[in-house]
């Protein structure tokens, strides 16, 4: 039996070392033939435009996209705002995976502190626009929005 792809996995990871290659391989091994795989570390906005109409998209993840933007000296604020502004024009659903990274002690590394702040802002912009938001706790979804 052939399984036709009916959902799109947009991976934002950039493989810079063996550890990340291993992590990516594990993630890929979990996905079945129902997924179309798209690797897009920078132009996430374009990837969403190009894949609209191919089914729901899972973006894994916003924090790696932000990492790539910051390390590459891209305008993460401008691109983040553009990403969020474009969501209303998407026909197929978009699901973003992201991370809360501010739950530890303030790090001694200045780039880490800047990243924490940036991730917090980007998460807020996307969450404000999203129809539903869930916090993953031990792999279980805890509904944050809408609250009823």
Task: Say how far apart CA 22 and CA 98 lie, in whole Å.
Answer: 20
Q: Does residue 74 have an active-site annotation?
A: no
Phi, psi of 48 (to 5 degrees): -65, -40
Phi, psi of 123 (to 5 degrees): -60, -40
Closest by Cα among 77, 89, 91, 88 to 124: 77
Active-site hit among 27, 31, 50, 74:
27
Establish if 140 lies at the interface with its own copies (CB under 8 A).
yes
Shortest Å, Cβ 102 to its own copies: 8
Of the candidate spans 4-12, 29-37, 53-61, 92-100, the one that interacts with its own copies by CB under 8 A turns out to be 92-100
Q: What ranges in 1-148 are assigned the alpha helix state H?
A: 18-30, 44-51, 62-71, 76-86, 110-129
**Member of 115, 118, 131, 148 binding its own copies (CB under 8 A):** 115
Binding mask 17-36 for its own copies (x = CB under 8 A): --x-----------------
Establish if 103 lies at the interface with its own copies (CB under 8 A).
yes
Whole-number Cα distances in Å, 61 to 2, 65, 105, 147: 29, 6, 23, 24
CB 129 within 8 A of CB 86: no
Establish if 107 lies at the interface with its own copies (CB under 8 A).
yes
Q: List, by residue number, the catalytic residues.
A: 27
> Binding site for GTP, residues?
11-13, 60
Residues lying near its own copies in the complex (CB under 8 A): 19, 98-105, 107-110, 112-113, 115-116, 120, 123-124, 126-128, 133, 135, 137-145, 147
């Amino acid at each position: 039996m052939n399984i036709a792809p009916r959902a799109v996995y947009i991976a934002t990871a950039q493989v810079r070392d063996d550890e990340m290659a291993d992590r990516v391989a594990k993630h890929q091994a979990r996905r079945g033939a129902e997924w179309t795989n798209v690797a897009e570390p920078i132009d996430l906005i374009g990837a969403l435009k190009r894949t609209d109409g191919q089914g729901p998209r899972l973006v894994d993840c916003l924090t790696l996209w932000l990492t790539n933007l910051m390390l590459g000296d891209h305008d993460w604020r401008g691109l983040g705002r553009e990403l969020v502004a474009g969501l209303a024009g998407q026909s197929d659903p978009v699901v973003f995976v992201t991370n809360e990274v501010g739950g530890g002690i303030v790090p001694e590394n200045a780039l880490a502190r800047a990243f924490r702040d940036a991730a917090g802002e980007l998460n807020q912009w996307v969450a404000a626009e999203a129809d539903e938001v869930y916090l993953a706790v031990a792999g279980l979804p805890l509904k944050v929005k809408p609250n009823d």
